[in-house]
Amino acid sequence: MTAMSSLYAEHLALLKQRSDAALAKAGFDHLVIASGVEKYQFLDDRPYPFKPNPHFKHWVPLQQHPHSWIAYTPGSKPVLAYYQPDDYWHVPPSPPEGFWVEHFDIRILREPSDAAAHLPRGRVAIVGEADAALEGVVPNNPKVLLDELHYQRGYKTAYELDRMRRAQRRAVKGHRAAEAAFRAGASELEIHRAYLEATGHGDLDLPYTNIIGLNAHAAVLHYQYQSPERPAKPLSFLIDAGAEVDGYASDITRTYAAHDGAFAELIAAVDDEQQALCGMVRNGADYRDLHLECHLRLGSVLRNAGIVDMDPGAMVSEGVTSVFFPHGLGHPIGLQVHDVAGRHDADGNEIPRPTGHPYLRTTRKLGPGMVVTIEPGLYFIPTLLAKLKAGPNAKAVDWDQVDAMTPYGGVRIEDEVVCTEGAPENITRDAFAESA
């Protein structure tokens, strides 16, 4: 057995155990998972890029396989109903191969509807989108089962951590190339292309659309364009870009300044706080405390930089830090960039966000095997600043400094950190260090 196949065997054994428990809890005898169907543009024969049901790719490292199914009955070898059409318009999926195939009873399908004959009937939990339904096989997505599976998915297996470390290394190649392109004066579009080239990704298989913002575009949290124009004067560059390996995502942000000065110092200060926060990803830590700690620390950064003259605690309680840091500290990541169950327990009960922090995606306590992003930022967002200027705390702000920083957009630094029994493992920093 290769290292990979034994890691996968262990992963699958744990998935089965978790599924056994979730089926028993929810009162079902079988678990059926639809990969999904290709979706077509309205009144057209052009499909949208296919993205599989994450439950499907949890079991098998297959990303481009619509109309396929997994059927699992506790105690039996899982069935993979594998759609492999005779299609001369497209390249059909190749025969299944790799370290994982021996673990499945594989049935080849030539027509999507053929799957129905291979799937169990009776008390079946069927996980999938409504449009995957076949005759007699209609997704029911039992909430009790999904809540349990989603919660457990927060704890990554050794196989998943291996895939995620690889997804870091793949993205870091792109981040290195992107920084070099920025330093050479490239446009956002040119930087994006350099990223794709270095990672070997195309636009369609990125885990999310790259955020490539020069100058004031760095203040747009999910900036969605890539301008082909080279800026007359490059000042700053924010890149939030990931990669994927066997369906597992990375999500990394770096910010660069074109020259020394106050903005470069702000990046360094946010980076220091980011690393300190990464160090707090510890067994038993409540992610909400990390988020609030982040606000306090960013308040200190704002005060030390002379941007806001207020006590950091007051800045947090008055909502001033939220003007400069209007998103959450981070989220679980894995099969999905914003992975499931960041704010719910195993019974689906919501774990509330702190009051005044509506965008925080993670409220769970951390435990070994969980992987979260830590992504503090400080931004100069004109619409939010205008509200601050019109309010009672305006007098505490050095508006000349704010105006001087606004053309630089903002700073975000984002890493993925694995919670362990002991010291956290920052898989993003490790990948950057390896590539140095």
C-beta closer to ligand GLY: residue 388 or 413: 413
C-beta closer to ligand GLY: residue 147 or 240: 240
Q: Name which of residues 387 to 426 contact Mn ion (CB under 5 A).
A: 414
Q: Taking CB under 6 A as the rule, does residue 339 contact ligand GLY? A: no
Structure tokens at 310: 């207020």
Q: How far is the CB of 331 from ligand GLY (least distance, A)?
A: 6
C-beta closer to ligand GLY: residue 162 or 339: 339
Q: Which CA distances in Å does 352 have to 206, 296, 328, 344, 371?
A: 31, 20, 14, 9, 20
Q: Within a 10 A sphere around the Cβ of 263, how many other Cβ atoms?
A: 25
* Binding-site partner at residue 208 among Mn ion, ligand GLY, none, CB < 5 to 8 Å by type: ligand GLY
Binding span for Mn ion by CB under 5 A among 25-33, 77-85, 146-154, 237-245: 237-245
Residue among 278, 283, 289, 292 at smallest CA distance from 413: 278
The 371-374 sheet, strands edge to edge: 371-374, 415-418, 425-426
* Nearest residue to ligand GLY, by Cβ distance, number only: 240
Q: How far is the CB of 98 from Mn ion (least distance, A)?
A: 29
Q: Taking CB under 5 A as the rule, does residue 373 contact Mn ion? A: yes
Is 322 within 8 Å of 354 (Cβ atoms)? no
| Bridge pairing between strands 105-109 and 79-83 | parallel
Q: Which CA distances in Å does 290 have to 101, 158, 331?
A: 41, 25, 12
Among 162, 190, 240, 246, binds ligand GLY (CB under 6 A): 240
Listed in sequence order, the residues at least 6 apart from 161 whose beta carbon sits closer than 8 Å to its beta carbon are: 369, 371, 418, 427
Instruction: Give the span between the Cα atoms of 231 and 1, in whole angstroms.
Output: 53
Among 147, 188, 190, 240, binds Mn ion (CB under 5 A): 240
Listed in sequence order, the residues at least 6 apart from 106 whose beta carbon sits closer than 8 Å to its beta carbon are: 79, 80, 82, 96
Q: Number of C-alpha atoms within 13 angstroms, CB side, residue 361?
A: 17
Q: How far is the CB of 217 from Mn ion (least distance, A)?
A: 15
How many residues lie near ligand GLY (CB under 6 A)? 5
C-beta closer to ligand GLY: residue 318 or 375: 375
Instruction: Give the span between the Cα atoms of 60 and 56, in whole angstroms.
Output: 7
C-beta closer to Mn ion: residue 137 or 167: 167
Q: Taking CB under 6 A as the rule, does residue 155 contact ligand GLY? A: no
Q: Taking CB under 6 A as the rule, does residue 244 contact ligand GLY? A: no
Q: Taking CB under 5 A as the rule, does residue 251 contact Mn ion? A: yes
Among 251, 273, 318, 339, binds ligand GLY (CB under 6 A): 251
Q: How far is the CB of 75 from ligand GLY (least distance, A)?
A: 40
Residue among 329, 319, 342 at smallest CA distance from 393: 319
Q: How far is the CB of 209 from ligand GLY (least distance, A)?
A: 9
CA distance from start to end of the chain: 33
Among 29, 208, 365, 367, binds ligand GLY (CB under 6 A): 208
Residues forming the site for ligand GLY (CB under 6 A): 208, 240, 251, 375, 414
Residues forming the site for Mn ion (CB under 5 A): 240, 251, 253, 373, 414
